Amino acid sequence: MDSDHVSESNSFKLLCANSLVVVLIGPGGVGKGTVARRLLELDPRMWLSRSWTTREPRPTETGDEYFFVTRNAFEDAVAQDYFYEWAEFHGNLYGTPRPNPPDDRDVLLEIEVEGARQVRERDPEAVIILLTAPTIELLEQRLRGRGDHEEHILRRLDSTRREIERGRQLSDYEVVNDDIERASHQILSILEGLRQSRRIPS
């Protein structure tokens, strides 16, 4: 993939001063999606972006998880500069449309590490949180529970260590997902601290 596809012309800051751009990264099976959904329930300020992907829906998915599109449709959107960030991951394309949240909402992106790198390049103040699992065995168990093909699971496990290493270099915070409630509340308190410290004095 061309890692320099973030052009100068669309390098812009997303939101007003008091809003946050929160990027949740972490290896497959770590529970990013579940934690992201829990954050939305717990914090009405959070607004979750819905990504595009060229991968097939999983048997366990309802169709709301992504906009599932063809590679042609995705590539057309890239050509029209539609995405805030995009990346190829294990043979499929994933991208975040330029977010357009309601006023005063914080944007939550649940993406892989190359996309997070692009977000950081555009917005140095974006908060990148790496979610990790207590053990690799637990990750494997969770990946298997999603109904992916065995070959896909093995490839994902193979890249897990690299994803964690890259994630550590990029992230501002690391949160262990040993328990969804605990991890979600830890993230919320990180965000609350940031909101306080970034608040513009009136």
Binding site for ligand 5GP (CB under 6 A): 28, 32, 51, 55, 85-87, 89, 94-96, 110-112, 114-115
Q: Among 121, 130, 117, which residue's Cα sits nearest to residue 32?
A: 130
Task: For ligand 5GP, give the closer residue by CB, 47 or 94.
Answer: 94
Please state the closest distance from residue 202 (CB atom) to ligand 5GP, in A.
35
How near is the Cβ of 121 to ligand 5GP at its closest, in Å?
A: 13
Count, residues in the chain: 202
Closest distance to ligand 5GP from the beta carbon of 194 (Å): 22
Task: Answer whether 113's CB lies under 8 Å from 171's CB.
Answer: no
How would you classify the pairing of strands 52-53 and 92-97? antiparallel
Nearest residue (CB) to ligand 5GP, 96 versus 184: 96
From the CB of 185, what's the least distance to ligand 5GP, in Å? 21
Rounded-to-integer distance, Cα 34 and Cα 127, Å: 19
The residue (of 61 and 104) whose beta carbon lies closer to ligand 5GP is 61
Cα torsion through 159, 164, 169, 175, rounded to 10: 160
The residue of the chain with the least Cβ separation from ligand 5GP equals 115
Q: How many whole angstroms from its chain centre is CA 19?
A: 17
